């Protein structure tokens, strides 16, 4: 039952959706950030560790969907890894609950340099609807320096994929012209 179905799939068209194009402005901003922080560049592939810093689990559903067959993030060299020690990117969701803050900081401490930090979801951006509660900090940026935010409640798999692809593009982007001092 399985083999004939696998065989059929082998000769059929892939079910995977077409690749999204990351927005130029985001790529450019990331490239500038890369330059400004004089970080070593990573290659054409990124190992991603997802850290749930107290989400409602909606964001996790969409991250998992992005790893599924239709979005298939691995075709771009984006891979979810099991340990922060293997990661180039920390993809953080949730408002950062006070009970998760130390775990997030320790996860960052375990991640080798260079490391991108992505705040995914409205909660991770600034605490979202939970902002102001005694139980949460106000988003990832209140704990760690954030390189990229992907808003949405939850962000769609496509939005997540676009965000992660801009990280890849930024590595390749030509060196940005010197930006006027801020």
Partner 1 sequence: MSGAASDLIRRGAPQGCRPFERYLLTQSAFAGLRDALAQEPTLALLSLWAEPSAIHAVFLDEGAERPALLLASCLASDQKYPALSPVRPGAVRFERAIRDLWGLSAEGGVDLRPWLDHGRWPVQAPLSAKPSRDPVPPLQPEFLPIEGEGWHQIPVGPVHAGVIEPGHFRFTVQGETVVRLEQLLGYTHKGTLSLMVGKSPRAAARFAARLSGDTTVAHALAFALAAETATGTQPPPRAVLLRATMLELERIANHLNDWGFICNDAAFAYPHARCGELREGVLRANAAAFGHRLMMDVVIPGGLSVDLAPGGEAPILAALAAAESEIAPLTTIYETHASLQDRVVGTGILKPDLAARFAAGGHVGRASGRGFDARCALPHAPYDAMTFATPVLTEGDVDARVRVRIAEVKESIRIVRALLAALEPGEVHQPLPQKGGEGIAVVEGFRGEIVTWMALDDGGIIRAVFPRDPSWLQWPLLEAAIEGNIVADFPLCNKSFNCSYSGVDL
Considering only residues 5, 8, 13, 44, which one is a binding residue for partner 1 as defined by CB under 8 A?
Answer: 5
Peptide bond into 114 cis (omega under 30): yes
- Name the closest residue to ligand SF4 (Cβ): 58
Q: What does 126 interact with, of ligand SF4, partner 1, none (CB < 5 to 8 A by kind)?
A: none
Q: SS3 for 117?
A: strand
CB 158 within 8 A of CB 122: no
Number of C-alpha atoms within 13 angstroms, CB side, residue 162?
Answer: 16
CB of residue 95 to ligand SF4, shortest distance in Å: 7
Residue 19 binds partner 1, judged by CB under 8 A: no
Q: Hey, which residues between 42 and 71 contact partner 1 (CB under 8 A)?
A: 50-65, 67-70
- Nearer to partner 1 by C-beta: 100 or 167? 100
Question: Is there binding between residue 101 and partner 1 (CB under 8 A)?
Answer: yes
- E strand intervals along the chain: 46-52, 78-80, 89-93, 116-120, 148-150
CB closer to partner 1 out of 62 and 169:
62
């Amino acid at each position: 039952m399985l083999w004939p179905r696998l065989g059929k799939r082998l000769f059929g068209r892939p079910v995977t959706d077409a690749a999204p194009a990351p927005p130029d402005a985001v790529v450019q901003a990331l490239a500038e950030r890369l330059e400004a922080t004089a970080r070593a560049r990573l290659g054409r592939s990124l190992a991603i560790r997802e850290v749930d810093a107290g989400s409602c689990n909606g964001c996790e559903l969409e991250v998992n969907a992005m790893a599924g067959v239709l979005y298939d993030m691995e075709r771009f060299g984006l891979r979810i890894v099991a340990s922060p020690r293997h990661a180039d990117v920390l993809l953080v969701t949730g408002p950062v609950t006070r009970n998760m803050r130390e775990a997030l900081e320790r996860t960052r401490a375990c991640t080798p340099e260079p490391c991108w930090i992505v705040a995914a979801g409205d909660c991770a951006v600034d605490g979202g609807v939970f902002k102001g509660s005694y139980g949460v900090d106000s988003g990832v940026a209140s704990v760690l320096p954030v390189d990229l935010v992907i808003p949405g409640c939850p962000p769609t798999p496509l939005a997540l994929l676009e965000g992660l692809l801009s990280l890849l593009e930024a590595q390749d982007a030509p060196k940005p012209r010197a930006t006027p001092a801020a």
